[in-house]
A and B are shown apart, each in its own frame.
Chain A
Amino acid sequence: MQIIQPHYHAIARTAQDYERMSMSGVVAVCEPAFWAGFDRRHPETFIDYFAQISEFEPTRAAEFGIRHFCWVAVNPKEAENVELTNEVLKQMPEFLDKPNCLGVGETGLHKSTANEIAALEAHVELAMKHDQLVLIHTPHLSDKAHGTKTVLEVLSGMNVNPDKIWIDHVEEETIEWVLDAGYWAGMTLYPVTKCSPRRAVDILEKYSTERLLVNSSADWGPSDPFTLQECIVEYRRRGHQVQEAVEIFHNNPCRFLGQNPKWDIKPIRITEE
Chain B
Amino acid sequence: MLSPKQTLDTYFLEARRDLLEVAALLDRYDESVSREGHKAEDESKLESLREAMQLLAKPDHSKADRAKHLLAHFAKIN
Contact = CB atoms under 8 A, between A and B. Distances in A.
B28 interface: yes
B31 A206 contact: yes
A196 B13 CA distance: 13
A192 B14 contact: yes
Contacts of A196: 17, 20-21, 24
Nearest to A194: B17
Contact of B24 (A141, A193, A202): A202
Interface string A187-200: 00001110010110
B17 A202 contact: no
Contacts of B28: 202
A193 B12 CA distance: 11
Contact of B31 (A191, A193, A205): A205
B27 interface: yes
Given A205-B31, A206-B31, A193 B13 contact: yes
Nearest to B17: A192
Given A205-B31, A206-B31, A199 B13 contact: no
Nearest to B28: A202
Task: Give the interface size bracket for B toward A.
Answer: under 10
Interface in A208-244: none
A205 B13 CA distance: 26
Contacts of A202: 24, 27-28, 31
Interface in B1-29: 13-14, 17, 20-21, 24, 27-28
Given A205-B31, A206-B31, A199 B14 contact: no
Contact of A192 (B13, B24, B31): B13
Interface string B18-48: 0011001001100100000000000000000
Contacts of A141: 13
A59 to B, nearest CB: 36
B36 to A, nearest CB: 13
B27 A198 contact: no
Nearest to A193: B13
A199 B31 contact: no
Nearest to B14: A192
A196 B24 CA distance: 10
Interface in A157-213: 191-193, 196, 198-199, 202, 205-206
A158 to B, nearest CB: 33
A196 B14 CA distance: 12
Given A205-B31, A206-B31, A198 B14 contact: no
A206 B24 CA distance: 12
Contacts of B21: 196, 198-199
Contacts of A205: 31
Interface of A: 141, 191-193, 196, 198-199, 202, 205-206
Interface of B: 13-14, 17, 20-21, 24, 27-28, 31
Given A196-B24, A202-B28, 16 more contacts: A191-B17, A192-B14, A192-B17, A193-B13, A193-B17, A196-B20, A196-B21, A198-B24, A199-B20, A199-B21, A199-B24, A202-B24, A202-B27, A202-B31, A205-B31, A206-B31
What are the 6 A-B residue pairs with the smallest beta carbon separation, nearest first?
Answer: A199-B24, A192-B17, A192-B13, A202-B24, A202-B28, A192-B14
